Amino acid sequence: MPDPGPGVVPQETEPSRSGPENLLVCLSPSPFSIPLIRATKRIADAQQARWYALYVETPSHDRLSPENQEKVAQALYLAAKLGAQAVKVSGFRIGDEILAFARENQVSKIFVGKPYARRWRRFLGLSLVDHLIWNCGPIDVFVISGEGEEAPPAPAPGPKPRRLLREYLLAAGGVGLCTGLGFILFPYLALTNLAMIFLLTVVIISSFLARGPAIFSSFFSVAAFAFFFVPEYYSFAVANTEYAITLMVMLLVSLLVSGLTTRVRHQARVSRQQERQTAALYEMSQNLGAINSLEELLEVAAEQITRIFDCRVSLLMPGSTDKLEIRAGQPYADEYGKEGMVAKWVFRHGHLAGAGTDSLHAVKGIYLPLIASQNIIGVLRLATDQPDRILGADSLRLLEALGSQVGIAIERENLSRQAQAAQLQIEAEQMRNTLLSSVSHDLRTPLTVIAGSASSLVEGEKNLDAVTKQELAQSIYEEAKRLDRLVHNLLEMSRLQSGQAMFNKEWYVLEEVIGCALAQLDSQLHDHPVSINLPTDLPLVKIDALLLERVVINLLENSMKYTPPGTSLEISGRIEGQELLVAVADRGPGLPPAELERIFEKFYQVSPGSARGAGLGLTICRSIIEAHGGRIWAANRTDGGAVFNFTIPLAEGAITLDKNLPEMQKDSR
């Protein structure tokens, strides 16, 4: 046995091999697989190597007892838990498959258990270890001995005896039929061609029946052929030595054919199963990929697993209090809290548990941890009357694969949600910063005027004449009012943006709203004559009057800010279809066409710094108008100036102004 020390790497080692070594441990159904895995794990840890655990599934795997099949599954499971990459391949020659896998994955050391081989195979040097050692090339092979010779794995009882008996009878019947047919054709056919018919029968039988009946049919057909059709007739004695050769060849060919057919059938079965698993995994990943909420994801996963395994599925994840909650799938009764305890244990330890498994099997559900890349994020519960159906090696592997897919999908969903939240936070942060810098500038300007004027009044009491004092006081008053409007706009903005604004919609007359806006701006409007053009028969509109007043104020203020003193402003309104259209127009320089949309963005100013205001006014207008179900947009007038339009949808049953209203009946008191 080669020295497993790290320094003794054979000369033939490929020079390209670098980085951590790859080890391979070969598994069998024997209980010795478990210590073998642990031994390999220790060596892999010591060498900081990656390691694979490989099981080669041959046709004989099917003939293993369910206990032994389970042992294989558990060995693979354990290896995976200990950090190995557990792999199952199917093939016919275990040794060749192992070596092919080892070369493919650049394995440098192979670990096998000390084998049990039948005496004659050992004698002929046909044991697996011999095969590996002779054919391994540059790879080291380590044979690890267990506690004494291991017993050969107990063969499975095979198909139920009754079914087997039926198959033997079928095989005998088939050969009997063929013999009958032989009697009919005997006069017309040469003996060799008759032999062909028997061979065909064997092929047909072995392609449908198990190996035993197939071999039986080989012997039986050769015997029947020899008895009935080879001279001496009706005796097993053979007249001519040539016939003896024919019979020998026929027996060998039929045995070979039946063996081959069984192999092909096994191969087909394995690939069908693999295809089914691949399809299930593919469908799951397809379905999980097209989902954008965690709830939906969990629902789809539960549904999919329910469909594949035909059982009751529940998905548990820790809730807000870190307690596991059913987040999707079927609710279930939890007597004495046992189910919950098992779910908790599985969530903490990351091992399969529950009904039919080795640990905590006194419950109704099978619990599988959902493992994401870093930690366990949930538990999958399956409940069925036959847990063995799910815990079989193949379906368990599929279940685990599905579970890890779901785990990763959940993790991905969580991560994307976190990323989204982080993005939102960054945006909010940026907005706060912009707001702060923009607002602090806008607050400072009036504050500077106020502080300056007030200090002049305080300090220069004696030197100032009455007119100057009056002017200073007036500018303090006006700047304070401007400050008030700015603060009001900011509050309105944050209220609208946070979604906390409570709309107080009532029936209002547009004229009155405009009148209030004009009254508030009174002192500022003396430089800009305002003309109002409203039809007298406008219907009432259902609006929040204070907010709409804010829209008109902001639009007027905006127009005053960007147009030279002395130019006129116009407010007009008219009905267009099912909407009331209001326009605030000016005779200023107009807007650059590229800016028509952007001016409604937060903090946007056509020429930053040139004029006053935080660039919030129009954004607030847009928020308010959109909350009323209307639209707002800016345009340039054909004959010069800009125009800001907004619409308010007309409600059903609005009262029109021009109608002669019946005077409401006075209460008789």
Partner 1 sequence: MNPIILLIEDDPQIRRFLRASLVTQGYELIEAGTGREGLALAAAQVPEVVLLDLGLPDMEGLEVIKQLRSWSSVPIIILSARGQERDKVANLDAGADDYLTKPFGVGELLARMRVALRKVAPAEEGKQEVLYSLGNIKVDFERRLVFRGQEEIHLTPIEYKLLSVLIKHRGKVVTHRQLLKEVWGPSHIDQNPYLRIFILNLRRKLEDDPTRPQYLVTEPGVGYRLRDD
Token pair, residue 196, equals 């062909």
Specify the residue, 548 or 632, whose C-beta has the smaller distance to partner 1.
Answer: 548
Sequence-separated (6 or more) residues with CB below 8 Å from residue 116: 30, 149, 150, 151, 152
Alpha carbon distances (Å) from 484 to 158, 210, 335, 669: 92, 94, 65, 46
Contacts for 154 with CB less than 8 Å, ≥ 6 apart: 64, 65, 67, 68
Residue 45 engages partner 1 in binding (rule: CB under 8 A): no
CB closer to partner 1, 610 vs 665: 665
Do residues 57 and 75 touch, judged by C-beta distance below 8 A? no
Q: How far is the CB of 345 from partner 1 (least distance, A)?
A: 56
Residue 41 or 628 having the CB closest to partner 1: 628
Minimum CB distance to partner 1 smaller for 63 or for 505 = 505
Binding to partner 1 by residue 524, rule CB under 8 A?
no
Cβ distance to partner 1 smaller for residue 259 or 649: 649
Instruction: Order the strands of the 642-649 sheet from edge to edge.
Output: 530-533, 569-576, 579-586, 642-649, 632-636
Q: Quote the CA–CA distance of 622 and 555 in Å, as a whole number.
A: 11
Buried b (16+ CB within 10 A) or exposed e, 386-401: ebeebbbbbbbbbbbe
**Binding partner 1 by CB under 8 A: which of 447, 534, 606, 635?**
534
Site string for partner 1, 599-638 (x = CB under 8 A): ----------------------------------------
For the bound state, the minimum distance from the C-beta of residue 557 to partner 1, rounded and expressed in Å, comes to 16
Region binding partner 1 by CB under 8 A among candidate stretches 210-218, 295-303, 641-649, 653-661: 653-661
Name the minimum Å distance from CB 510 to partner 1. Answer: 10
Q: Which of 53, 98, 540, 584 binds partner 1 (CB under 8 A)?
A: 540
User: Residue 192 burial by CB count (10 A; 0-12/13-18/19+): exposed, middle or buried?
Assistant: exposed
* Smallest distance, partner 1 to C-beta of residue 429, A: 27
Q: Which of 442, 365, 465 is nearest to 614 (CA)?
A: 442
Quick one: 78 or 540, whose CB is closer to partner 1?
A: 540
Among 12, 322, 461, 663, binds partner 1 (CB under 8 A): 663
Determine, following the binding rule CB under 8 A, whether residue 451 of this chain makes contact with partner 1. Answer: no
Q: Can you spell out the DSSP letters for 510-569?
A: HHHHHHHHHHHTGGGGGGS-EEEE--TTPBPEEE-HHHHHHHHHHHHHHHHHHS-TT--E
Nearer to partner 1, 321 or 668 (CB): 668
Q: Which is nearer to partner 1, 373 or 455 (CB)?
A: 455
CA-based nearest residue to 630, from 544, 507, 528:
544
Nearer residue to partner 1 within complex by CB, 68 or 520: 520
- Report CA Rg, the chain: 45
Q: Among candidates 68, 39, 66, 69, which has minimal Cα distance to 53?
A: 39
Identify which range of 198-206, 245-253, 322-330, 538-546 contacts partner 1 by CB under 8 A.
538-546
- Give the binding range for partner 1 (CB under 8 A) out of 278-286, 307-315, 381-389, 654-662: 654-662
Q: In this complex, which beta carbon is closest to partner 1, that of residue 165 or of residue 655?
A: 655
Give the shortest CB-446-to-partner 1 separation in angstroms: 12
Residue 70 or 479 with smaller CB distance to partner 1: 479
| Options 450-458, 584-592, 594-602, 659-667: segment touching partner 1 (CB under 8 A) | 659-667
Q: Is there binding between residue 249 and partner 1 (CB under 8 A)?
A: no
Residue at token pair 């092919």: 100
Task: Report the residue number, 44 or 552, with the smaller CB distance to partner 1.
Answer: 552
Q: How far is the CB of 504 from partner 1 (least distance, A)?
A: 8
SS (HEC) of 164-227? HHHHHHHHHHHHHHHHHHHHHHCCCCCHHHHHHHHHHHHHHHHHHCCHHHHHHHHHHHHHHHHH
Pairing status of strand 85-90 against strand 50-57: parallel
Q: How far is the CB of 307 from partner 1 (least distance, A)?
A: 56
And the tokens for 141?
A: 């092979």
549 binds partner 1 (CB under 8 A): yes
Q: How far is the CB of 467 from partner 1 (least distance, A)?
A: 19
Q: Residue 373 phi/psi, 5° resolution?
A: -65, -30
Q: In 3D, which of 70, 122, 93, 130 has the Cα closest to residue 101?
A: 93
Least distance CB 627 / partner 1 (angstroms)? 16
Residue list 459-518, contact with partner 1 (CB under 8 A): 477, 480-481, 484, 488, 491, 504, 506-509, 511-512, 514-516, 518
CB nearer to partner 1: give 14 or 512. 512
For residues 333 and 364, give the distance between their C-alpha atoms in angstroms, rounded to a whole number: 10
CB of 645 to partner 1, least distance (A): 19
532 binds partner 1 (CB under 8 A): yes
CA angle (403 as vertex; 399, 406 as ends), nearest 5: 140
Interface stretch with partner 1, choices 61-69, 349-357, 596-604, 657-665 (CB under 8 A): 657-665
Residue 574 touches partner 1, criterion: CB under 8 A: no
For 448-524, list the strands marked E by DSSP.
Answer: 506-508
The least CB distance from residue 308 to partner 1, in Å, is 59
Which amino acid is located at 164 in the chain?
L
Number of residues this chain uses to bind partner 1 (CB under 8 A): 34
**Pairing relation of β-strands 506-508 and 541-543?**
antiparallel
Q: Which is nearer to partner 1, 545 or 614 (CB)?
A: 545
- Residue 371 beta carbon to partner 1: minimum distance, rounded to whole angstroms: 54
Nearest residue to 382 via CA among 338, 336, 337, 329: 329
CA–CA–CA angle 344, 348, 349 (5° rounding): 115
CA-wise closest residue to 112 among 98, 96, 100: 98
244 in contact with partner 1 (CB under 8 A): no
Q: Which stretch binds partner 1 (CB under 8 A): 60-68, 236-244, 545-553, 607-615?
A: 545-553
Q: How many residues in total does the chain contain?
A: 669
**511 near 538, Cβ under 8 Å?**
yes
Which residue ranges make up the site for partner 1 (CB under 8 A)? 477, 480-481, 484, 488, 491, 504, 506-509, 511-512, 514-516, 518-519, 532, 534, 540, 545-546, 549, 655, 657, 661, 663-669
